[in-house]
């Protein structure tokens, strides 16, 4: 089964046990059938895109989203990110606002967040696929078990990673992370429905950089 997963070798090694479990076999088959029978996002070549940019040892920050955008032409395989020609999604608009507020300068408004990923930010959705027009439609397929295993493996085998957990869903992942080895930052979600309840002013981007610098890791250029 591992040979069929289009993921770089370092990630395959980290997650080897997961690929061999029955749930992952069932997940793979179910998702494969969905792509054949329905309209599903992101494009199948981008399901594991978040893992193609940096190896596990290079991950410095994890930002957890819930599932890919379910509107055609939007999901690109990275949480909160979309193709550069697209309109900036509302939550990402608020992320940019917070970055500008924290650093006091205008930030790059390109909605393609590959520039964060190349610096070691793992933009991880809890589900890695979704049916067109149906939010969370693949949430019960087994993706959450798989992505929980990713968070746990990063926590156990690496150190000094900043986990940004926005919203109640992401906040529940705190139990998977060893807070003695990593920094966990929680706040409301950047969605327009909740950003004013504590996402704005959370200083997460500044705090993440301070932690990385303190532990000898290169800071992220969020701007």
For strands 130-131 and 40-41, give the pairing: antiparallel
Cβ proximity of 46 and 39 under 8 Å: no
Mean pLDDT, residues 68-93 taken together: 96
At 115-124, the pLDDT tens digits run: 999 999 999 9
Distance in angstroms (rounded) separating the CA atoms of residues 127 and 143: 5
- Tell me the CATH number for domain 9-215: 3.40.470.10
The residue to which tokens 């080897």 are assigned: 16
Query: Is the pLDDT confidence value at 4 over 70?
Result: no
Cβ proximity of 143 and 126 under 8 Å: yes
At 168-186, the pLDDT tens digits run: 999 999 999 999 999 999 9
6, 67, 148, 178: the active-site residue: 67
Determine the angle formed by the axes of helices 22-37 and 143-157, rounding to 10 degrees. Answer: 130
Distance in angstroms (rounded) separating the CA atoms of residues 81 and 74: 8
**Residue 148 annotated in active site:** no
The residue to which tokens 């606002």 are assigned: 97
Q: Max Cα separation, the chain? A: 50
Residues with Cβ within 8 Å of 36's Cβ and at least 6 positions away in sequence, in order, are none
At 21-62, the pLDDT tens digits run: 999 999 999 999 999 999 999 999 999 999 999 999 999 999
Instruction: List the chain domain ranges.
Output: 9-215
Q: Which of 127, 162, 161, 163 is nearest to 142 (CA)?
A: 127
Q: What are the angstrom distances between the C-alpha of 113 and each of 82, 84, 196, 223?
A: 7, 9, 23, 11
Q: Which of 85, 44, 96, 92 is nearest to 65 (CA)?
A: 92
How many helices (H) does the chain have, and how many strands (E)?
Answer: 8, 6
Mean pLDDT of the residues in the chain: 95
Q: What is the pTM of this model?
A: 0.95
At 149-161, the pLDDT tens digits run: 999 999 999 999 9
């Amino acid at each position: 089964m591992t040979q069929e997963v289009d993921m770089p070798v370092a990630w395959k090694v980290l997650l080897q046990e997961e690929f061999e479990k029955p749930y992952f076999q069932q997940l793979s088959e179910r998702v494969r059938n969905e792509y054949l029978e329905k309209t599903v996002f992101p494009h199948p070549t981008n399901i594991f895109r978040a893992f193609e940019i940096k190896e596990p040892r290079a991950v410095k920050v994890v930002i957890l989203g819930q599932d890919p955008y379910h509107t055609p032409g939007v999901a690109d395989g990275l949480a909160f990110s979309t193709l550069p020609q697209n309109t900036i999604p509302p939550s990402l608009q608020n992320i940019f606002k917070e970055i500008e507020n924290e650093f006091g300068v205008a930030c790059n408004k390109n909605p393609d967040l590959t520039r964060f990923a190349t610096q070691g930010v793992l933009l991880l959705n809890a589900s890695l696929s979704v049916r067109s027009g149906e939010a969370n439609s693949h949430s019960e397929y087994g993706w959450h078990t798989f992505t929980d295993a990713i968070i746990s493996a990063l926590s156990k085998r690496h150190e000094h990673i900043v986990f940004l957990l926005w919203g109640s869903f992401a906040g529940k992942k705190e139990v998977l992370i060893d807070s003695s080895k990593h920094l966990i930052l929680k706040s409301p979600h950047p969605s327009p429905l909740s950003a004013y309840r504590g996402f704005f002013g959370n200083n997460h981007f500044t705090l993440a950089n301070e932690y990385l610098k303190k532990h000898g890791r290169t800071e992220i250029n969020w701007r």
